[in-house]
């Protein structure tokens, strides 16, 4: 079941069996829903169909309104970067006693940001460029105008009071979640979670009134513009229908022959995996991947994420435990996000402007998935990585690259999403999607979430959930308002597998694998050139980008 799918012959949901990711990026997502960025991993394979629409030469002189708009957007971006640093500090360094003051700080900053983003100066600049995209030849200018107008229209529908309330509640909810998770008591978080969902319903209705017939579509659109619950239902239903019997077959095989799932003895999880050595190894591999520690840092947090303040300050976190594979995989995943951010365009039409940001969170997740699933879980990668493990952990000297590959790729159902294997991971995502949609539609009460969670985990994965901490409190997403984010993992997985296969085809038989085996990770760097699909605004941005040059059968 591990053979890579052909470039154009597999449907979207079957592709997911090869590439589903467990982690996310918390601070980055709020500023990353605009236009497709530059030096992301293999983004050369996200070209638009019509090259005439993105001619980079002969750009017309920017109008006075556009120049004013750029200046204002950069001021807003600078304030957003401050917001990012506050968020990172809150998750990594802030003392717990500062929670209340931090919530007030973030609320006050959110109000300033909202007022700056929707004030008279911004409105005048927006109206001066509205509908003028075709006056410019430079695709980045077009993207900046298109996305600035769209963002302004959405933000202007929101009052400054609502913006402030949203930021403050998310900070308060995050602290409540942390306390509830530590105590493994959902009741400590239920009140704030109820407020979060009610507020997100209000925000979706206010900012995206055209989607009121299916309120949850408004939440999805914040992360995957153009994506709708109706389409996700189709994808997830096909996934569930294929995965559940596949998992049953795997479990039956393991029961009849336990040796198929046995790790190499020296690779078994345990206290022998020194956390300082794990941290050193993570830094080694991140640097080899191309991550710049001059413009970033690697810390530890409860939940791995990527944050910071723009391409010159991209920070990431991971976590270490007796399960060496979890921390190592988290680092690789977050480094994929971080490389994407560090490679954003910092030129005149990029830095601080919409065109330097991600097209969607699915695009962002595709970059982390490309590394974590397509590279990390491949045999060539372990030919490169096994000697690094031997050096940091001498007790693994007898384990070969094949042993590492086999151990890392075991299928074993469990409670925790971020520790899930590639077969069971989609079922974790589907569970969260179903809960979000039911809460948005009023078909479920927040108090019902724990029991529903336990039942579905038993039905779908055959797993008993012993407590709230390993159940509905394990994820940070809802606590900071990322309702509608989880499907981005699945959409990113679709993109990652196709981008990887397209790269293999471009480089020739065995070339990419040989480079990975040598640790030449730069082969996955497409360079700083912009890659912005010419979208019509009515389709899923992810599917439209894929359809242009990759596998149309997977995007219908």
Tens-place pLDDT, residues 487-535: 998 888 878 888 888 888 888 888 999 999 998 866 566 433 323 433 3
Residue 5 DSSP code: P
Query: Which one is catalytic: 166, 170, 172, 334?
Result: 334
pLDDT at 291: 93
Alpha helices for 184-228 (secondary structure H):
187-207, 215-221
pTM summary value = 0.80
Res 536 pLDDT > 60: no
378: left (phi over 0), alpha (psi -120 to 50) or beta: beta
pLDDT at 24: 40
pLDDT at 522: 62
Which residues are CB-contacts of 408 (< 8 A; sequence separation ≥ 6)?
325, 329, 376, 377, 382
pLDDT at 213: 82
C-alpha distances (whole Å) from 165 to each of 172, 180, 212, 289, 378 are 10, 22, 22, 40, 45
- For the chain, the domains span 61-157
Contact 315, 86 (CB under 8 A): no
Tens-place pLDDT, residues 160-176: 889 889 988 998 999 99
Rg over alpha carbons for the chain, rounded to the nearest Å, is: 23
Tens-place pLDDT, residues 346-390: 877 778 898 888 878 888 888 898 999 999 999 999 999 999 999
The answer to whether 334 is a known catalytic residue is yes
Q: How much is the average pLDDT of 430-443?
A: 96
User: Whole-angstrom Cα distance, residue 79 to residue 102?
Assistant: 16
Which of 343, 338, 333, 386 minimizes the C-alpha distance to 496?
333
Return the percentage of the chain with pLDDT > 70, whole number: 82
């Amino acid at each position: 079941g591990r053979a890579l799918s052909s470039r154009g012959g597999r449907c979207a949901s079957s592709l997911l069996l090869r590439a589903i990711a467990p982690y996310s990026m918390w601070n980055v997502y709020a500023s990353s829903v605009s236009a497709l960025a530059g030096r992301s991993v293999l983004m050369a394979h996200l070209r638009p169909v019509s090259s005439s629409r993105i001619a980079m030469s002969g750009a017309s002189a920017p109008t006075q309104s556009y120049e004013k708009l750029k200046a204002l957007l950069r001021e807003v971006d600078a304030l957003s970067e401050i917001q990012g640093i506050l968020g990172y500090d809150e998750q990594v360094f802030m003392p717990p006693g500062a929670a209340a003051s931090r919530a007030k700080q973030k609320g006050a900053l959110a109000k300033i940001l909202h007022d700056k983003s929707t004030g008279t100066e911004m409105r005048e600049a927006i109206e001066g460029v509205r509908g003028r995209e075709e006056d410019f030849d430079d695709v980045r200018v077009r993207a900046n105008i298109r996305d600035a107008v769209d963002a302004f229209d959405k933000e202007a529908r929101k009052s400054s009071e609502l913006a402030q309330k949203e930021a403050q509640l998310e900070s308060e909810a995050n602290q409540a979640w942390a306390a509830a998770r530590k105590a493994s008591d959902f009741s400590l978080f239920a009140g704030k979670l109820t407020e979060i969902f009610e507020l997100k319903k209000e925000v979706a209705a206010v900012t995206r009134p055209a989607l009121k017939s299916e309120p949850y579509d408004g939440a999805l659109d914040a992360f995957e513009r153009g994506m709708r619950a109706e389409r996700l239902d189709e994808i997830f239903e096909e996934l569930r229908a294929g995965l559940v019997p596949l998992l049953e077959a795997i479990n039956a095989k393991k029961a009849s022959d336990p040796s198929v799932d046995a790790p190499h003895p020296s690779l078994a999880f345990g206290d022998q995996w020194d956390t300082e050595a794990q941290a050193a190894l993570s830094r080694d591999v991140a640097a080899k991947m191309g991550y710049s520690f001059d413009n970033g840092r690697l810390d530890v947090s409860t939940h791995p994420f990527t944050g910071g303040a723009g391409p010159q300050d991209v920070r990431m976190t991971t976590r270490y435990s007796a399960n060496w594979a979890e921390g190592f995989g988290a680092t690789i995943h977050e480094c994929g996000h971080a490389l994407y951010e560090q490679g954003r365009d910092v030129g005149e039409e990029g830095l601080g402007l919409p065109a330097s940001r991600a097209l969607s969170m699915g695009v962002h997740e595709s970059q982390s998935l490309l590394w974590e699933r397509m590279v990390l879980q491949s045999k060539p990668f372990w030919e490169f990585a096994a000697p690094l493990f031997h050096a940091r952990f001498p007790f693994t000297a007898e384990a070969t690259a094949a042993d590492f590959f086999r151990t890392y790729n075991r299928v074993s159902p469990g409670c925790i999403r971020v520790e899930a294997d590639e077969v069971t991971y989609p079922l974790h995502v589907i569970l969260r999607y179903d809960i979000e949609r039911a809460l948005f539609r009023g078909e479920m009460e927040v108090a019902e979430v724990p029991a529903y969670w336990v039942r579905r985990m038993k039905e779908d994965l055959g797993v008993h959930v012993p407590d709230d901490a390993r159940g509905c409190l394990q994820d940070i997403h809802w606590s900071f308002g990322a309702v509608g984010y989880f499907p981005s993992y699945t959409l990113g997985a679709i993109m990652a597998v196709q981008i990887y296969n397209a790269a293999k085809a471009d480089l020739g038989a065995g070339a990419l694998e040989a480079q990975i085996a040598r640790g030449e990770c730069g082969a996955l760097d497409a360079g700083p050139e912009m890659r912005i699909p010419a979208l019509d605004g009515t389709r899923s941005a992810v599917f439209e980008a894929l359809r242009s040059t990759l596998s149309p059968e997977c995007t219908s």
